[in-house]
Amino acid sequence: MMESIKVFAPATVANVGCGYDILGFALEGYGDELILTERQDDQLVIKTIQGVAELPLDPTKNVSTVTISALLEDLKLNKGFDLKIKKNIAAGSGLGSSASSAAAAAYAVNEFLGGPISSEELIKFAMEGERIASTKAHADNVAPSILGGFTVVRSYDPLDVFNIPYPEDLRVVIIFPQVEVKTSDAKKIIKEQVKLSDAIKQWGNVAGLVSGLILHDFERIGKSLQDVVIEPVRSYLIPLYQEMKTIALNVGALGFSISGSGPSMFCFVRDTSESSLIIERAKELYGKNGIDVISFVSGINNMGAKTLD
């Protein structure tokens, strides 16, 4: 039996405009790594956390170890592991940092144990990790981080998550201004009531986005990437949001919205020339306002969490 396993779980974009709490997709080449090594006792010990995020080493407070505890408890296993975590995603980026750690942890333990649990079922354990970082156990980041691709959380009770097809040549531009938006703050400003007329607009756009993705209708994807419920309040937490959105849409982006709870923003593009231009303009806009910005283009990652050599 192996003693150690190294895994990767990708960064993710949740909400995806109109799909607050139900839609998400995985990014390529950007995510967290986790090395899990079996211990002789039943302790979970975080040995090192490298990288961009400052995170708790206390196993009751770290999303990775909380996820592993939930999983081992469900399997009624007394096992211990050392964890070495490499964070490539900043906490508070809106790119599913905590979800990536939770997904990596759930995936690693399951692989280590020879895969007793299906990928779909792993989601609910990773959600327990997410609960630590957020006020609620959301699945819209952990689902795509584990499963890859574009995911729908149709229902939370019972949990019903599935992948939907999407055009393989769809590209995503991520614009991440270097300011922190706490998920908990971003959640506080969401109203508990929605105007029915806005809810109708939102589910019309969900129908448009989902059908546009499955049918590879780029124009429809762009038109449907609207959010009349969350964006109007959360965009105020993101510096220069409207300016950046206008620039991206003028350059030809297919829709533009907030990634998760922000401050990262994203847009879909078809062409690499558009993505280069959007990245260039983002650097100009934020640069002249004295804000550093990380910006990159990615495909949708169809793999999800995976074992590394």
**How many C-beta atoms lie closer than 10 Å to residue 175's C-beta?**
29
Select the span of 98-106, 170-178, 206-214, 291-299 touching its own copies (CB under 8 A): 206-214
Nearer to its own copies, 23 or 181 (CB): 23
Cα(131)–Cα(144) distance, rounded to whole angstroms? 17
Cα(265)–Cα(173) distance, rounded to whole angstroms? 8
**Smallest gap, in angstroms, from Cβ of residue 268 to its own copies?**
17
Select the span of 90-98, 223-231, 255-263, 292-300 touching its own copies (CB under 8 A): 223-231
**Smallest gap, in angstroms, from Cβ of residue 136 to its own copies?**
10
Cα(146)–Cα(42) distance, rounded to whole angstroms? 25
Rule CB under 8 A: choose which of 35, 89, 127, 206 binds its own copies: 206
Identify the helix (H) or strand (E) that includes residue 275.
Answer: helix 272-288
**Size of the residue set binding its own copies (CB under 8 A):** 41
**Smallest gap, in angstroms, from Cβ of residue 278 to its own copies?**
25
Nearer to its own copies, 39 or 136 (CB): 136
Is residue 224 within the footprint of its own copies (CB under 8 A)? yes
Give the angle subtended at the CA of 8 by the CAs of 103 and 53, to the nearest 5°: 75
Q: Where are the alpha helices (DSSP H) in 60-113?
A: 63-74, 97-112
Cα(148)–Cα(162) distance, rounded to whole angstroms? 10
Nearer to its own copies, 207 or 303 (CB): 207
**Smallest gap, in angstroms, from Cβ of residue 82 to its own copies?**
38
Is residue 191 within the footprint of its own copies (CB under 8 A)? yes
**In one letter, which amino acid is 40?**
Q
Contacts of range 246-253, beta carbons closer than 8 Å, 24 or more positions apart: 247/278, 247/281, 247/282, 247/285, 248/173, 248/175, 248/278, 248/281, 251/277, 251/278, 251/281, 253/173, 253/222, 253/278
Cα(61)–Cα(59) distance, rounded to whole angstroms? 5
Is residue 204 within the footprint of its own copies (CB under 8 A)? yes
Q: Where are the alpha helices (DSSP H) in 215-271?
A: 218-224, 231-234, 241-251
Nearer to its own copies, 175 or 229 (CB): 229
Report the candidate in 141, 165, 145 with the shortest Cα–Cα distance to residue 153.
Answer: 141
Question: What is the per-residue binding string for its own copies in 16-35, x denoting contact by CB under 8 A?
Answer: --xxxxxx------------
Report the candidate in 93, 21, 95, 35 with the shortest Cα–Cα distance to residue 64.
Answer: 35
Write the Ramachandran bin of 103: left for phi over 0, alpha for psi from -120 to 50, otherwise beta: alpha
Is residue 192 within the footprint of its own copies (CB under 8 A)? yes
Question: What is the per-residue binding string for its own copies in 81-120, x denoting contact by CB under 8 A?
Answer: ----------------------------------------
Nearer to its own copies, 211 or 302 (CB): 211
Q: Which residues are catalytic?
A: 130, 183
Nearer to its own copies, 220 or 245 (CB): 220
Select the span of 5-13, 127-135, 178-186, 201-209 touching its own copies (CB under 8 A): 201-209
Identify the helix (H) or strand (E) that includes residue 202.
Answer: helix 196-214
Question: What is the per-residue binding string for its own copies in 119-158, x denoting contact by CB under 8 A?
Answer: ---------------------------------xxxxx--
Binding site for its own copies (CB under 8 A): 18-23, 152-156, 160, 162, 164-165, 190-197, 199-208, 210-211, 214-215, 220, 223-224, 229
